[in-house]
Structure 1
Amino acid sequence: MADQLASAIAANVLGKLGSIVWREFRMIVKIEGELKELTDTMTTIEAVLLDAEEKQASNHALSNWLGKLKDIFHEIEEVLDEVEYQVQRKRANDKYGRTIKEVCDFSSRTKAFWSRHFQVVDKIKSIRERLGKIAGEKDQFDLTAARVEDRRVIHTRREMTHSFVPPSDVIGRNNYKENIISDLLRQPNGNQNVNVIRIDGIGGLGKTTVAKLVYDDECVAHHFELRMWICVSEDFEIPRLIREILMESGVRIDENFGPHNGLQTKMREKLKNKRFLLVLDDVWNEDRNKWNELKDLLLGGAKGSKILVTTRTNKVASIMSAVSSYTLEGLSEKDSLSLFIKYAFNEGEDKQYPNLLEIGKEIVKKCKGVPLAIRTLGSLLFSKVNEREWKFVRDNEIWKLEQKEGDILPALQLSYNPMPSHLKQCFSFCSLFPKNYLFDSGKLIAFWMAHGLLNKKPNTQDEELEDVGDMYFKELWSRSFFQDVEKDFWNNGYQFRMHDLVHDLALKVAEEVCSADDFHTQNNAKTVRHLSFSHDGRQVPSFFDTISSDVRTTLFQTKQQELILVEKCISRFNCLRVLCLSDSCFEVLPSSIGNLQHLRYLSLAGNEKIKKLPNSICKLYNLQTLLLHGCSTLERLPKDTRKMISLRHLTVTTTNEFLFGNGENCLNSLQFLLVSRCPGLESLFQRMEKSLANLRTLIVSGCESLTSLNLDVKCLTALEALVIEDCKVLTLQKERHVLPFLTGTEDDRDLKFKIRKLKIYNLPELESLPPWLEGSANTLQFLSISFCENFMALPEVEWGSDLKSLEIIGCPKLSSLPKDRLIALRELTIEYCPELIRKCKEEDSFKIDHIATVRLQD
């Protein structure tokens, strides 16, 4: 991946050289000449990188040349980051003042300031000279400069919807579906209560898709009292599977739930005398003893219970003792072509391009009936009408490489290769997570942002980096690299998974710079820059000593018991951009964390022992994401939190009664704020008059003592999504609010909330929506009010044409909706509101004929 991403690194460096930060630095230090020469050299090199990356596989000297470029590009990045840190530091201190000691020490600070900047100038000059020599070597490779249009990303993609696959969208699998359903519904003849049905076949044939069609079938849903879906993959550890089964069956599990034997007992109780369906998807376990142990624990279900297993290996299939088995074959030529057309063309468009269709038939034959390969290449060619691009796929040399039976990586590689370099780099980061991992797009986008992979287009002031990341995510989704995508509506993101074979591709393209627990066979330690660990970490400190100190990502995905591990990581890797210590158990975060000048993403989420954060954390002027939710004993945020001027994404759990102790003018860059499970929190915002102007999403959850949000329209003009849940004493009527649309100066009258999504859940004291929300009546698109037992009325205001979805659940005192005010409503859900449902069914009381989707449940 390192060489393939040289073009992305170059683009990132050029973007930074033209940034506001560097324009500010140029005003302080006169280095115009050096920077212009460096920029010109970088631009010349960038133009030929795409051609070089395509040719490097067959040219060892060219590959080495790209390697040298990559190393020096990383050096430039370090210098740019150092400058960015110093500029951000200056901004923070100029804005919020310096300590008395700093003022008294003015002379030494001034000397140090100029010393640092002269060092930067010397570094830039040295790098520029070395880069010029390397750039001169490009002429020997006969490289072609890419045209501007070749480097432009064209985002012409079909509209994204959701992850549910309607039966009509699955081609060539209906017979399998019907036969499997028949077996599931059939009562067993033998003595065993629980029978196994197996679906097997090579990767990419659609085993999981068939299982989903069966699982979601209405007859199946009604037949079984309990349905559970477990993604197994390579981790067939019985305790883990029991926990997953319990959680799927509605039992809440935490780390202190009890010993393994207790979990077994709980599961047997849950399944006893119930007819259940358990899907074990993607099983790799070849140990018959483990399989028998799990099966024995499931035999207490009622007669007719079924276990549906999907697997791709014959040995796994042989130990299952299934009463029925289905081996998926490749799609027929006709079905393969139908599937390809569905992904490569808009509906009916294939008839307009008969020449492309003929080329497509030849491409489909090379896919050998494997749906994943067909979908991926169809997605690749969607919207492309140039025959040359289609023939490039058909005639590519990659088809001639030696392939194993059922190997579809060539097809996936063909879809990967033409991607722009920034998308390749974003895709490769997915290799840091294990197979079957449930991704969160917001977290992934924050990773991309931390590494500078998100580039805004010129003249797009209203576009945020998060919007760019969302566009990148949807681009990868549209290319079929992501699947099972579900919209996380209120967090304004998505959850998704990757097919195992797509994950294999990510590992393949990232193998030179990423490591995922492969300590003993790692043969590229000096090039490793991104680390992911999913074991107990006992071997990690010694492993740290064997790799380059230029690590940019350290991701721990398991509980870490030893503080020495954290200290070792911080001291060893001073170039870190991402440090994930989620679910850790240490009590003190080392003050040396403040030395990580390049850090942009820090997660301490789920640490239940940490009580305080060192104030040195506020020296992380470049930090964009700070995750502290689930830190149940954290007393307060550091006093200088306001100096973290780059912070865009913050989640907090604290025991303090106030969120920000000294909140004047802090967190101006914040886009997303989650305040979760703060039992003593009484007021959300204090003295925030000019802050949070860029906040777009605010989620307040589980704050039982919260009496006031202290919202101010002048503070939150960018707020789009507001979620308030599980706040037992919050009425939303005691706010320190400003109503510029009712009072105030003429300039103030245009200021109002512009909320698009509002969710209120389990506020038992709420009786009505507060006046300060009425200003959003014309912008609100989605409104959900659930389990507010004293809620009595929606305001009689003119709800605008944007309100498309209204959800009312568990509000028994609400007896009516605004008459003739919900003119644009397209979705209406009302559940457990008996009086309101009765009124809605009376035509004279409330007309619902114009609403496309109506769900009423008593």
Structure 2
Amino acid sequence: MEDIAKDIAGKVLDQLGSLVYEELSSAWGVRSDLTKLECTVSAIEAVLLDAEANQVSGRGRSLWLGQLKDVLKEAENVLDEFQYRVRQKEVMKRCRSTCKKVRYYFSGYNPLVFRFEMAHKIKGVRKRLDDIAALKSQFNLAEQHDRKTTIHRREVTHSFVPSHVVGRDGDKQKITDFLKQQDANVPVSVIPIVGIGGLGKTALARLVYNDEWVVSNFQLRMWVCVYEDFNLERLIKKILKSAAETSKSAVGTLKSTLGTIDENLSAEQLESDLRETLKDKKFLLVLDDVWEEKHIKWFKLKDLLSERNNGSKIIVTTRNISVADAMGTVATHKLNGLSHEYCTSLFKKLAFKDGEGKNYPKLLEIGNEIVEKCKGSPLAVMTLASLLYLKVEEDEWKRVRDNEIWRLKQNDDDILPVLQLSYNHLPLHLKKCFVYCSLFPKDYEFDGSFLVQFWMAHGLLQSPNNENQELEDIGELYIKELMSRSLFQDVYLDATICYTFKMHDLVHDLALLIAKRECSVVTKESTLTTEVCHLSILESGQEVKTQLERLNKVQTIIFKIEQPMSILKAFISKFKYLRVLDLSNSSLEMLPNFIGTLKHLRYLDLSYNDKIKKLPNSICKLHNLQTLLLLGCNNLERLPKGIRDIISLRFFSVTTKHTCLLEKAVGCLDSLRFLLINDCKNLKCLFEGMKECLTYLRTLIVSKCPSLTSLSLSIKHLTALKTLGISDCKELSLMEMEGEDNQDLKLSLQNFIIWDLPKLEVLPQWLEGSTNTLQLLWIGKCEKLKALPECLPDLKSLHRLSIKKCPKLSSLPKGMEALTTLRQLEIEGCPDLSRKCTKEDSHKIAHVPYINLEGSGFTRAMKMASASTSYFLEEEEKGVEEFDISDIQ
């Protein structure tokens, strides 16, 4: 619990040390109280360092830490309210309307009242802290001052590598042989794969699932993660979603938001849809990580899947032999641990930069003993190897080998002790980020950008020491660090720049175990303690409502199932300290007006509420809001006029029926870093009359806006822009962004992606402003594009050039040999260009390590120099017919 208390103490000190503190002190005459509060919190944090170092334990200590945590949270909330008032004051300064100022004055803003109220709260918090701090002597604790945590950027050569699968060729062959068999007596054959956690059951199933023979011989492949939830209706929904995603992939599209299932369908409708989906198809279904032993539940699903005998197969992975006996129709495939030889090979690949460790014989000896303790578990080997990566001190390796945690008994379904060991070695800033991931369900596909915003909403990202480094950059470093330690895995990079990842189910179990006092997944059967602050709600009903009524300190609510409006109103209004509220896919018709009272709210997700027609004006009072997600709100008529008052907004995605997105909304654009505009059918322009704005914008994505004729942007002001993506905008030519003085233009663009712009004839000349920074240039489905820009050879940092479905392109510009940084060139659907590149222009691209020229039969793939390079090159898109750039989130 000292980790939690230290985390909160650190956040309080960061608040007190911010620039806001100076304004607070002088504006409301509370400098003395805030200074004393800072001293008290600093002393407490130093004591917590001693508690952690000396492993102080006992019931008294737990109670003391619990009280300390509560009062520190109260201090955090008080300071957060101060910050809200500062921003409210800033909004008032921008207001020209006297009436609006008067309304603010009588709505609780009155500075005289606020001064007395806040001074009273600070004194109360400080007194409680002083009283609790005085008790530290009971535990013989002293102050240790080591607060400043340096954010180390570990070299992540292998951090993006998909899970290493070694030593499973024989297992794969046996499963594949089973899939080739035809049993006339069994409608659908089922093979279970059984083994303890961490052996690689899921990895083996994936190997089979993606095998070339399997892909070509099964018309439909579906992958469903079951875990402890064998609810028939939810399982059918998962199967239908997987079938929809697989079908979409089969026609060549990238990952999408399609394939969603109506949550209100009855059981009969779901069963009918499943029969229709599987009709006349030979399918392969993988049910991953099944726990349910009750035969009757399985028989109900099996009946739905077994209406025809056409060679369809089911693979089940489970840790429980009873599950295998209940579900299998053939002999169970028991997965054993990897041999010591394979485990050692895997360990060396991940623990040493050269993959061999030849220069460290003593470390190899210690590593061999560590591998022996892993007992054939690939997950254990990967996690420990990642923990020791680039560490060359023998003592550090010995501490891992000799740790007491190895003595814990491990049952078949226990969390591997090695995972706890890996968590214990995390720095505090990564521990808290890791624990918050427990709020998301098992097998959840994390999107890097959204997870960073989620962490940011809770103040988990340390303020950067480098003034040029954004919080978003800090979050990306955290993700890569957790990847490098194998706590995130299954990294997927789409054909452009977006990446996703998952947590192994055992790693997720670990996060749940550590987070149980703070975070909870809520079902009808769950039991919540009053300490819980962060909730992910999976079910509805009176049982859930009763549990929530006992809580009052909630900061996070993620609704994973639609709730009645009465429950939403009751608990949104009750939990006044909310920082994250996820109401996505809720079929809301309106948002409660009191949403504007949530002063602490940083993250609001209303995505895919297609019944919402308008947002209440009160939403504009959310001056602390950093993330607002309105993607898929297809009936949203317009944004509120006062949206400019959301002055802290950094991340914004939107779908609307309005013709002009933001009119005179400069305020909410001043802090914007990410903007996604998708599926706005009526949109004609983006920012009418606001050319000199968006100076902090780093990512701009515009997709599926068929009426859009103008971005109304001045490129010279977008000096921070790193990614620009535009797709499926039939009337957009980008010419309105020309006509400016592009001479000496300095931009920071790294990724430029355009797709399906039928009116585009030439690429904009302002690309010359990014000659030193552009790394990815992706051009596709631009039928009128006749030539590539002459400045193309001047792009000194270009790593990847992809040109697809631009039939009028016939040649590359002169000087392509100068593109010495180009690592990957793809040309598809450009017959003249492909032909010329294989013949008279081949010398222009002879230096490029990886080339794919469709239709020419000419493909050259380089031997990957490093694992990280292989990751970025391995996800080559195949035959894309439709490109949905809105997936880049």
Q: Do Structure 1 and Structure 2 share a fold, with TM-score over 0.5? A: yes
Please tell me whether residue 535 in structure 1 is matched to residue 536 in structure 2: no
Q: CA deviation at 1:211?
A: 1.9
What's the secondary structure of 1:63's corresponding residue?
A: helix
Q: In structure 1, how many angstroms separate the alpha carbons of the residues matched to 2:750 and 2:839?
A: 30
Structure 2 match to 1:444: 451
Could you say which residue in structure 2 is the equivalent of 1:377?
Answer: 384
Alignment of 1:367 onto 2:412: no
Compared CA separation, residues 537 and 193, structure 1 to 2 (3 A)? closer
Residue 825 of structure 2: aligned partner: 828
Question: In structure 1, the residue corresponding to 2:816 is in which secondary structure?
Answer: coil
Shift of 1:777: 4.4
Whether the 8 Å contact between 1:664 and 1:689 is mirrored in structure 2 is no
Give the equivalent residue in structure 2 for 1:214: 208
Q: Note closer, same or farther for the CA distance 1:303–1:405 as it changes in structure 2 (3 Å cut).
A: closer
Count of matched residue positions in the alignment of Structure 1 and Structure 2: 839
Superposition deviation, residue 3 in structure 1: 4.1
Matched, 1:480 2:480: no
Q: Which residue of 2 aligns with 1:563?
A: 565
Determine the structure 1 residue equivalent to 2:236. Answer: 239
What is the one-letter code of the residue matched to 2:596?
G
- What is the CA RMSD across the aligned residues, in angstroms? 2.9
TM-superposed deviation, 1:70: 0.8
Partner of 1:711: 713
Residue 844 of structure 1: how far off its partner (Å): 4.2
- Looking at structure 2, the residues matched to 738 and 481 of structure 1 have their Cα atoms a distance apart, in angstroms, of 50
Query: Which of residues 597, 612, 621 in structure 2 aligns to 1:619?
Result: 621
Query: How far apart in 1 are the matches of 2:103 and 2:785?
Result: 59
Q: Which residue of 2 aligns with 1:512?
A: 517
Q: Secondary structure at the match of 2:675?
A: strand
Query: 5 Å matches for 1:391-402?
Result: 391-402=398-409
Segments of structure 1 that go 5 or more residues without pairing to the other structure are 743-748
Q: Does the CA contact (< 8 Å) of 1:554 and 1:578 recur in 2?
A: yes
Q: Does the Cα contact within 8 Å between 2:749 and 2:773 map onto a contact in 1? A: yes
Q: Judge conservation of contact 1:815–1:839 (CA < 8 Å) in 2.
A: yes
Give the structure 2 partner of residue 746 of structure 1: none
Q: Structure 2: how far apart are the matches of 1:276 and 1:124?
A: 64
Q: In the superposition, relative to structure 1, how do residues 832 and 157 fare at CA in structure 2: closer, same or farther (>3 Å)?
A: same
Give the 3-state SS of the residue equivalent to 1:571 in structure 2: helix
1:423 equivalent among 430, 434, 439: 430
Distance 2:26 2:555 in 1: 30
Q: CA deviation at 1:56?
A: 5.4
1:493-532 Cα shifts (integer Å, max 9, x gaps): 53111111111111111111222114555251x2111111
1:449-528 equivalent positions in 2, closer than 5 A: 449-458=456-465, 460-487=466-493, 493-524=498-529, 526-528=530-532
Query: What one-letter code is carried by the residue in structure 1 that aligns with 2:481?
Result: E
* Match among 196, 199, 205 for residue 199 of structure 2: 205
Q: Residue in 1 aligned with 2:182?
A: 188
Listed one character per residue, the Cα deviations across residues 282-319 of structure 1 (whole Å, up to 9, x for unaligned) are 23343444444544555578855443332221122112
* In structure 1, C-alpha distance between the alignment counterparts of 2:274 and 2:811, rounded to whole Å: 44
Query: Alpha carbons of 1:246 and 1:171: their partners in 2 closer, same or farther (altered >3 Å)?
Result: closer
After superposition, residues 695-734 of structure 1 pair within 5 angstroms as 695-733=697-735
Range with bigger deviation, 81-90 or 245-254: 245-254
Higher mean C-alpha deviation, range 609-618 or range 376-385: 376-385
Task: Map 1:214-363 to 2 at 5 A.
Answer: 214-236=208-230, 237=232, 238-250=235-247, 253-255=259-261, 275-298=282-305, 304-347=311-354, 350-363=357-370
Q: CA deviation at 1:781?
A: 1.2
Cα distance in 2 for residues equivalent to 1:584 and 1:277? 32
**Residue aligning to 2:870:** none
Which segment drifts farther, 12-21 or 399-408? Answer: 399-408
- In the alignment, the residues of structure 1 paired with residue 490 and residue 106 of structure 2 have an alpha-carbon distance, to the nearest angstrom, of 58
Indicate conservation of the 8 Å contact 2:626/2:650, yes or no. Answer: yes
Within 2, Cα distance between the matches of 1:568 and 1:110?
A: 22
1:768–1:328 Cα change, 3 Å: same
User: Aligned equivalents of 2:683 and 2:481: distance in 1?
Assistant: 41
Shift of 1:839: 1.7
Q: Are 1:712 and 1:738, in contact at CA under 8 Å, matched by a contact in 2?
A: no
Shift of 1:117: 2.1
CA gap 1:223/1:138 in 2 versus in 1, 3 angstroms: same
SS at match of 2:669: coil
1:147 to 1:129, Cα distance in 2 relative to 1, 3 A: closer
Matching residue of 1:740: 741
Find the aligned partners of 2:767 and 2:824 in 1 and give their Cα distance.
21
Deviates more, 1:666-675 or 1:60-69: 60-69
- Counterpart in 1 of 2:63? 64
Distance in 1 of aligned mates of 2:306 and 2:565: 44
CA distance in 2, matches of 1:241, 1:109: 47
Counterpart residue number, 1:130:
128
Question: 2:345 is aligned with what amino acid?
Answer: S
TM-score normalised per structure 1 = 0.91
Mapped contact 2:609–2:633 kept (Cα < 8 A): yes
Change (3 A) 1:264 1:19: same
Residue 373 of structure 1 aligns to a residue whose secondary structure is: helix
Deviations 1:114-147 (A, max 9, x none): 2212332232233223322322322332336556
Q: Which runs of 5+ in 2 are unaligned?
A: 249-257, 856-889
Cα 1:195/1:831, change in 2 over 3 Å: farther
CA distance 1:271–1:403, change in 2 (3 Å):
closer
8 Å contact from structure 1 (residues 487, 494) kept in 2: yes
How much has 1:160 moved relative to structure 2?
4.7
Counterpart amino acid of residue 173 in structure 2: E
What is the identity, as a one-letter code, of the residue corresponding to 1:706?
L
Q: Offset at 1:533?
A: 0.6
Give CA deviations for 1:765-814 in whole Å, capped at 9, x if unaligned. Answer: 32222334443344321111222233322122243121121112222222
Distance 1:555 1:241, change over 3 A: closer
Match of 1:11 in 2: 10
* Structure with larger RCO (C-alpha < 8 A, sep 6+): 2
CA distance in 2: counterparts of 1:658 and 1:829, whole angstroms: 36
Q: Is the Cα–Cα contact under 8 Å of residues 530 and 554 in structure 1 kept in the other structure? A: yes
- 1:608 is paired with a residue whose SS is coil
Q: Is the 8 A contact 1:343 1:375 kept in 2?
A: yes
Q: 1:260 to 1:102 in 2, by over 3 A?
A: closer
The answer (yes or no) to whether the contact 2:749–2:774 under 8 Å persists in 1 is yes
CA distance in 1, matches of 2:847, 2:51: 59
User: What is the deviation of 1:818?
Assistant: 1.8
Q: Pick one of 802, 806, 825 that aligns with 1:807.
A: 802
Partner in structure 2 of residue 849 of structure 1: 846
Q: Are residue 544 (structure 1) and residue 538 (structure 2) matched?
A: no
Pick from 754, 764, 776: which aligns with 1:760? Answer: 754
CA contact (8 A) 2:647 2:667 kept: no
Contact kept, 8 Å, 2:183 with 2:189, in 1: the verdict is no
Map 1:576-725 to 2 at 5 A. Answer: 576-664=578-666, 666-725=668-727
- 1:745 alignment partner in structure 2: none
* Matched-pair identity in %: 49
Q: Distance in 1 between matches of 2:104 and 2:291?
A: 65
Aligned equivalent of 2:116: 118
